[in-house]
Amino acid sequence: MNKKECRNGDRYCFNLNLQLDGDLFLLVGERSVEIWKLLDISPFGTGLSVDEEIATGSRVMLQYQCNGDDIKVSGTVLWSGVENSNEEGGGFRMGICFQKSEMVLNVALFKALTESTLKMKQCYG
């Protein structure tokens, strides 16, 4: 799958040392999947590096807990594949499209994850 098929909205890339102020969880049904890295984010979706492959079309929930706030955003896995990495153990990259009907929550999550990040830049390509 080429990058054009994977994303169609603005995304934001973070430096490798992104430290979230809270805890970010990926839930697939009742199961929590370990998130290795937040790759990009917009109010419309996100790219993640995770420890296991999640099937395309799966319904997921991204949950962020910080300072007593608990933001939950629903989405669908648009693409998923083996990460092209030299790191031991590898991993999987995935793209999630957030539910457009929950835009208020999507924007709240985007703002919560990016507000304290000073080294954010818009990605091109």
φ, ψ of residue 68 to 5 degrees: the values are 85, -10
**Contact in structure between 27 and 35 (CB atoms under 8 Å):** no
- The tens place of each residue's pLDDT in the chain, 125 residues long, gives 445 555 566 655 554 445 688 999 999 999 999 998 888 888 999 999 999 999 999 999 999 999 899 999 999 999 999 887 665 557 899 999 999 999 999 999 998 888 765 444 555 54
- Per-residue pLDDT of 85-102, as tens digits, reads 665 557 899 999 999 999
Q: CA 1 to CA 117: how far, in whole Å?
A: 30
Where do the structural domains in the chain lie, given as residue ranges?
Answer: 3-116
Q: CA 96 to CA 100: how far, in whole Å?
A: 12
With CA atoms as reference, report the closest residue to 7 among 62, 48, 64, 45.
45
* CATH number, span 3-116: 2.40.10.220
pTM of the model: 0.77
With CA atoms as reference, report the closest residue to 68 among 18, 21, 116, 103.
21
